[in-house]
A = this chain, B = another copy of it.
Amino acid sequence: MSKKIAVLTEETIHDLEFWYPYYRLAEEGYDLVIVGPEAGKSYTGKMGGVIRSEKSPSEISAKDFAGVVVPGGWGPDKLRTHKAIVDFVRDVHANGGVVAAICHGGSVLVSARILEGVRATSYKSIKDDMILAGAEWVDEAVVVSKNIVTSRTPSDLAHFGKALVETLKKIK
């Protein structure tokens, strides 16, 4: 399996939920690629940091990626309006890659229609959306269902990072 992992960015993505998994996976030797709706664009995170996209979905192929991380914040509300982003997430999942979402990141998984029958969690405000998308929603720090890893909030990041690393190691 590839060592490439996409981490999604958009305006008002949650900075910590972006950078914690980014650096944690870098520590494990993964090749991180920052993917946004447009390539080479500087997006401003919820906390004000700049997260510049390296690639847009049209420039990459889901089959080259071992996984994709969808951080939270308000960014997922924008990410899910881009068909190419949603298609990329669905294709990574369809190809056996890992899809990880924290907080509002679950909204992109809802739009990608990959939650049917999946035990998962999210920020509490989108619980109903997750359930309507077919998820078995639970209130836990991190939930791993096959190749889908989900967490609730930034305070779950230690659990999210650990589960993400373990799940990626299993699929290689």
Size category, A interface? 10 to 19
**Residue in chain B with minimal CB distance to A156:** B23
**How many copies of this protein are present in the complex?**
2
Give 26 pairs: A residue, B residue, CB < 8 Å, sorted on A: A15-B15, A15-B16, A15-B47, A16-B16, A16-B19, A16-B49, A19-B20, A19-B154, A19-B157, A20-B20, A20-B23, A23-B157, A23-B158, A23-B161, A24-B24, A24-B158, A24-B161, A26-B158, A27-B158, A27-B159, A27-B161, A27-B162, A47-B47, A47-B48, A47-B49, A48-B48
- Interface hits, A119-172 → B, CB 8 Å: 154, 157-159, 161-162
Main DSSP-derived SS at the A contact region: helix
